[in-house]
């Protein structure tokens, strides 16, 4: 059964697969840095009202499966997650400041994740006048 979240004026399911990398794709997301990053992501996501459905911290990139509110632009959500984690990780792990001018690249990947294929959705919309 598909789960939907609610706001006062809508029901929604806005799921995104998100990826971003440290500057120069350096392999700095290991050990205690990776553990702390996961904690910080959970903290900030909860603060933003975003649900992290799945996460994986690789040495040189981050994968997240997010369920975000439709009122928040995914680029803004990612920017807030990256900004928050960078600020605290660089404060708690000073070696990151020595290794990199900034923790994250400006770039990211974001793709929506749906419950049906694009062709199924197109057929459903096309068939609406026939009903």
User: Which amino acids are annotated catalytic?
Assistant: 124
With CA atoms as reference, report the closest residue to 88 among 41, 19, 53, 28: 41
> Dihedral of CA 29/30/32/37: which sign?
positive
Helix (H) or strand (E) holding 43: helix 31-48
Q: Are 100 and 28 in contact (CB under 8 A)?
A: yes
* Angstrom distances, CA of residue 102 to CA of 2, 9, 14, 33: 39, 39, 30, 15
């Amino acid at each position: 059964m598909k789960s939907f979240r609610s706001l006062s004026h809508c029901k929604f399911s806005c799921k995104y697969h998100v990826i971003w990398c440290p500057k120069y794709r350096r392999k700095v997301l290991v050990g205690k840095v990776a553990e702390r990053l996961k904690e910080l992501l959970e903290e900030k996501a909860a603060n933003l009202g975003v649900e992290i459905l799945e996460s994986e911290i690789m040495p040189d990139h981050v994968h997240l499966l997010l369920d975000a509110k439709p009122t928040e632009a995914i680029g803004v959500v990612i920017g807030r997650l990256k900004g928050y984690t960078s600020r605290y990780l660089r404060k708690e792990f000073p070696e990151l400041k020595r290794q990199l001018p900034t923790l994250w690249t400006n770039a990211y990947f974001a793709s929506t994740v749906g419950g049906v294929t694009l062709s199924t959705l197109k057929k459903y919309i096309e068939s609406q006048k026939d009903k």
